[in-house]
Amino acid sequence: MTPEQWATVRRLVDWLDAANGRGEQETAARLLKLGEETGEVMQAYIGTTGQNPRKGRTHAASDVADELCDVILTAAVALHRFTDDPAAALDRKIRQVALRSLPSASDAVD
């Protein structure tokens, strides 16, 4: 995510905090929301395959992409609860995964 996107997420977190507070129940609700969004990804994907013959094909790849974006945004909001610098935390994680997974990751992450 870009710095501008992280700034927008921060504003969303501030808005949610003002509306709902910052207690443990709100933290749990944000994590539950992440699970809900993940379920919507699966629902959209099932809809692209027509797996449910009663419903047929109900979604397109763009619907799956949209739901995946919801997951990313919801996770970014929730991440603010567990670190003071969510952008750095995500960057560290991406680098860790790349270093363990990509053949020339040391060249790619510099």
Single-letter amino acid, residue 76? A
Whether residue 69 lies inside any domain: the answer is: yes
Structural domain of 8: 3-83
Question: Between the CA atoms of 35, 7, 90 and 70, what dihedral angle is there, to the nearest 10 degrees?
Answer: 30
Q: Does the pLDDT value for residue 106 go beyond 60?
A: no
Contact between 74 and 37 (Cβ < 8 Å): yes
Whether residue 96 lies inside any domain: the answer is: no
Runs of H (alpha helix) within the chain? 3-20, 24-49, 61-79, 86-101, 105-108
Whether residue 95 lies inside any domain: the answer is: no
Whether residue 28 lies inside any domain: the answer is: yes
Q: Which pLDDT tens digit goes with each residue over 28-84? A: 999 999 999 999 999 999 999 999 999 999 999 999 999 999 999 999 999 999 999
Whether residue 99 lies inside any domain: the answer is: no
pTM given for the model: 0.88
Whether residue 94 lies inside any domain: the answer is: no
Quote the number of domains for the chain. 1
Residue 93: how many CB atoms within 10 A of its CB? Answer: 11
